[in-house]
Amino acid sequence: MRDTSGTLSAANYRFNNNMNGCFLEEDAEDEKLEDCCDVEAWEILSKSFKEVQSVLDRNRRLIQQVNDNHQSMIPRNLAKNVELIREINANISTVTGLYANLSSNFSSIVQYKAGKRQIDTSKN
């Protein structure tokens, strides 16, 4: 779980869909962008993990179906496995792409935060 000590919780935010993104109900302007970015970053990463988990859950069901078909030794069920295995392979490619996007998003967030800290440090 994320350590929220010293920061505002997501409940303190109200969001709108204009050019400014989100606003804080309280706190200084300097922290607005950083805190807003934290919430948005968390939402982006959380959404990506949910997408990955959904595809992995689908693969788990497909693998179970392949196993059941194989154990049945019924020719028609064994023939179905070819298509099921193709779907599993396609899903693995999908997961790879989702993880690549997640990695890129995470890297961008870390770079932004590191750049923000450097700017903040140079102001002092």
> Exposed, middle or buried: residue 79 (CB in 10 Å: 0-12, 13-18, 19+)?
exposed
pTM above 0.75, yes or no: no
Q: Quick one: which of 67, 77, 71, 7 has its CA closest to 39? A: 7
Report the alpha-carbon distance of residue 13 to residue 39 in Å, rounded.
Answer: 9
pLDDT at 10 over 60: no
**Length, in residues, of the chain:** 124
Q: Are 53 and 75 in contact (CB under 8 A)?
A: no
> Exposed, middle or buried: residue 64 (CB in 10 Å: 0-12, 13-18, 19+)?
exposed
Distance of CA 84 to the CA centre of its chain: 26
Percentage of the residues of the chain whose pLDDT score is greater than 90 = 42
End-to-end CA distance of the chain: 32
pLDDT in tens, 56-100: 999 999 999 999 999 999 999 999 999 999 999 999 999 999 999
